[in-house]
Structure 1
């Protein structure tokens, strides 16, 4: 339906009249069809590789299934077994230990990198490239590099320690805590991705706010904690949620560097899930572990989002 209007100059304009509530105009239907057509690859990919696997895993988690024979229904037995499995609790502790260190340390490191990238110097483009490059390396490649760096005999880390009078240490197989901390340290090489998010947030802060604070006599520290940090809270929230998600799914580093050792000290949740699925051919139990991980991730994300309402500032003062 169209309507004509005439302005003060006598010019006649044709405009699209709003459709009645609950009805679609032919133009609206055509736009909807085109929009759905353009996003159909994403919709199909999400249904095939996200939604379907979630529901299929939930069903398989209620069965005994090795992948070779038909699933045998056994209800909640896999979940009961999980809560009675000491190794499952060990993997949960290891994963929480890793996330509790890697996520906050990663936020600090990425923020420092973003501040360095935001400096007004001539070579800033080269600095940004250098600081971001490590995050482009595959995790399995970084794992092999760290194996060489912390090698107890020839690794450069132990060479530096002995140079200053210390004793060589076997960081990966000697102590469970040190092995986890090595993996935490390795995770910081991927801080460049989060640093880019922080850098975008820093560039979105009006320079006039810093100029006004400087005129009022605010120090650099006061400007950082009163202007920069409050206006970076949306970026902090995003990096926090993605960091928690990545922390809960840590797998490759432990699989390559320690294989879960020493004494299951790096037996992370995803590694234990992988072993049950592909080493022990217990897909039903592995699916139960996956479902619990999915639910925990959703709950943590919702919890962080609810708490964030108290400190996240989405508005910039003009």
Structure 2
């Protein structure tokens, strides 16, 4: 008779094999590649490949552009992730409200940006933020505010990209939040109303605690996606102005596919992987600690 533990491994085996094939092996290959000086000469002749150990990591940590890209990425994550979660939760609450009208229409409209092509939408947003002809500055002019160089000013370039990313991605999290809200028993709200709880207290003491696991899932997924910032600055600002929108992934692209320093690019990718793993582990540890309390 097969033991329960053995049966579990048998059923999990196919999924673990897929994870190892499409995740474990590429991560290991990237780490091995980061320990070499793999470049365009090595592509031409593998004999030119040399093992350099951790020299790529040392050079990377001494590169001011890497720290600039890391700072830009953290800025994008720290501001963009909470903002995206707040907008997603707000939209889900509106669609879940009994007072809401035309819910199927708005559910589709809010989710539509998620399934649109990033490049096509980014081009449109470039025109929206255009200094002279953009709709955003046209609206500000009606309020008596001078035009802002949204994409040409280092102060405003990253906030503009954050706004675009939040608009582009909030519909995905909204669907997850909406499913979580629909799974909360109505008895909890009825008991809270009987106790005299206001709508704000119901949200704070019933909705948020019940949505705890969903919030954790959405936070991890959103953070993982925002750490991989690339398409938005690549299409909208090309990393400028003054490298204010260069992300870690954009730097990896530049090193690997513009300068063909694939060893350096692999080092950048592996450091980003380690950073994302540490942050995700920290979130899970914090969630377990709060759950234990």
TM-score calculated relative to the size of structure 1: 0.84
- Tell me the residue number matched to 2:26: 53
Gaps in structure 1 of 5+ consecutive residues: 1-18, 314-318
- Deviations 1:205-252 (Å, cap 9, x if unpaired)? 100111111111111111110100110111110111111111110000
| Shift in alpha-carbon separation, 1:202–1:74, aligned structure 2, 3 A | same
The answer to whether the 8 Å contact 2:96/2:181 transfers is yes
CA distances 1:177-200 after superposition (whole Å, capped 9, x unpaired):
310000100111210110111111
Asked if 2 retains the 8 angstrom alpha-carbon contact of 1:111 and 1:195, the reply is yes
> Are 2:60 and 1:82 equivalent residues in the alignment?
yes
Aligned to 2:255: 276
Confirm or deny: 8 A CA contact 1:237 1:312 kept in the other structure: no
Structure with larger RCO (C-alpha < 8 A, sep 6+)? 2
Shift, 1:311, TM fit: 3.3
Distance, in Å, in 2 between the alignment partners of 1:138 and 1:87 is 29
Deviations, residues 264-304 of structure 1 (Å, cap 9, x unaligned): 10011100010000111100011011111111111111110
Q: What TM-score do you get using the length of structure 2 for normalisation? A: 0.91
The answer for the alignment partner of 1:64 in structure 2 is 37
Spell out the pairing of 1:154-165 with structure 2 (5 A cutoff).
Answer: 154-165=133-144
Secondary structure in 1 matching 2:290: coil
User: 2:218: which partner in 1?
Assistant: 239
Determine the C-alpha separation between the residues in 2 that align with 1:21 and 1:131. Answer: 48
**Quick check: 142-151 or 127-136, which moved more?**
127-136
Long gaps (5+) in structure 2: none
Size of the aligned set, in residue pairs, is 285
More strand, by proportion: 1
What does residue 242 of structure 2 align with? 263
1:220 is the counterpart of 2:189: no
What secondary structure is seen at the aligned counterpart in 1 of 2:149?
coil
